[in-house]
Structure 1
Amino acid sequence: MIKQIIFCTIGSTFFAIGMKAPKNCIYLVFIGSLITASIERMLSDYYGELIACCIAMICLVFFCELISRVKKLPSTVILMPSTIPLLPGSSIYYTMMYAITSDNVKFMHYAKSTILTGLGISLGAVIATITVKLLEKKRLPK
């Protein structure tokens, strides 16, 4: 598990470098990826892909919103590369492979995994974004 977290974090950091993220943000992407990969890996065995990805994404969005306010940066600069550990790359590949080879049992297994992961990512992003917006509205004077 630790090896997976390390490789996900390093891969996300190099992805950010490849995306030409600002150099002063690379260490923030590293931290965001570390948070995301750690939470997802720790929770996925106990709570499944949906809950693990949802909670990891919520934590990542809160981290990115906090850092964007402190560093005066757009949150997407850190958010986009830091979500790489959550993406269901292998399960999408296997879903398509088993769809083409007509192995329906394995296809359904990997399709379910892909859909739950994607749903967890999107729900986590929506829940965290709505929470941040509600807190902003409550804090701003009228």
Structure 2
Amino acid sequence: MMYINNFIYAFICTVGFAILFNVPKTSLIKSGFGGALGWTVFLFINNYFESIVVSTFIASFIIALIGEFFAIVDKMPLTVYIIPGIVPLVPGFGLYYTMLSILEKNYELAINYGSESMLIAIAIGGALTIVLSLSSYRKQKKKI
């Protein structure tokens, strides 16, 4: 039941950001589905591995794969699906607590939050880079 509730909340969050980013109305549901599925995968993997970086990497990888699939099917830009889908995974809480710790002069805690936020951002970027590289390789191979 927890996963279903989180799926619904992540779907609403992703659709809200998709509207904010002026995603075409025909792609709102698919963008929301990608973000909600990514967030659910994140929660599921985080419960078993207890590593926020690994779960973020796998969830970002899945969001990128789903976005690539929807972009090919709908003949839309990939960013229409990936940007809103990644929003639930962005480490905003970590960056907030990093700044709060710096203001409170608790530098050790700031380093912990900051390094975790950087690793999460690198995991997101790495997963997106791998999927985009594989898809561009596939497109180049078709041309040959």
TM-score (norm 2): 0.89
Change (3 A) 1:106 1:23: same
CA RMSD of aligned residues (A): 1.6
> What is the alpha-carbon distance in structure 2 between the residues aligned to residue 52 and residue 132 of structure 1?
22
Query: For 1:39-90, what per-residue CA distance to the aligned partner results, in whole angstroms no more than 9, with x for missing partners?
Result: 1111224151221111111111111111111111111111111111110011
1:109 aligns with 2:109: no
> What is the alpha-carbon distance in structure 1 between the residues aligned to residue 138 and residue 22 of structure 2?
32
> What is the alpha-carbon distance in structure 1 between the residues aligned to residue 24 and residue 143 of structure 2?
33
Number of residues of Structure 1 aligned to a counterpart in Structure 2: 141
- Percent sequence identity over matched residues? 22
Map of 2:54 onto structure 1:
51
Name the aligned partner's letter for residue 43 of structure 1.
Answer: I
Q: Which runs of 5+ in 2 are unaligned?
A: none
Cα drift, residue 141 of structure 1: 4.6
Map of 1:71 onto structure 2:
74
1:95 aligns with 2:98: yes
Cα drift, residue 9 of structure 1: 2.3
> What is the alpha-carbon distance in structure 2 between the residues aligned to residue 74 and residue 119 of structure 1?
23
> What is the alpha-carbon distance in structure 2 between the residues aligned to residue 107 and residue 7 of structure 1?
29
Among candidates 6, 9, 18, match of residue 8 of structure 2: 6
Cα drift, residue 111 of structure 1: 1.2
Would you identify which runs of 4 or more consecutive aligned residues in structure 1 move more than 4 Å?
A: none
TM-score (norm 1): 0.90
Change (3 A) 1:5 1:110: farther
Report the 3-state secondary structure (helix = DSSP H, G, I; strand = E; otherwise coil) of the residue aligned with 1:83: helix
> What is the alpha-carbon distance in structure 2 between the residues aligned to residue 127 and residue 11 of structure 1?
25
Name the aligned partner's letter for residue 84 of structure 2.
Answer: P
> What is the alpha-carbon distance in structure 2 between the residues aligned to residue 17 and residue 121 of structure 1?
22
Map of 1:118 onto structure 2:
121
Query: For 1:64-123, what per-residue CA distance to the aligned partner results, in whole angstroms no more than 9, with x for missing partners?
Result: 111111111111111111111110011110001101111123212211221111011011
> What is the alpha-carbon distance in structure 2 between the residues aligned to residue 85 and residue 96 of structure 1?
20
Name the aligned partner's letter for residue 77 of structure 1.
Answer: V
Q: Which runs of 5+ in 1 are unaligned?
A: none
> What is the alpha-carbon distance in structure 2 between the residues aligned to residue 16 and residue 108 of structure 1?
32
Map of 1:16 onto structure 2:
18
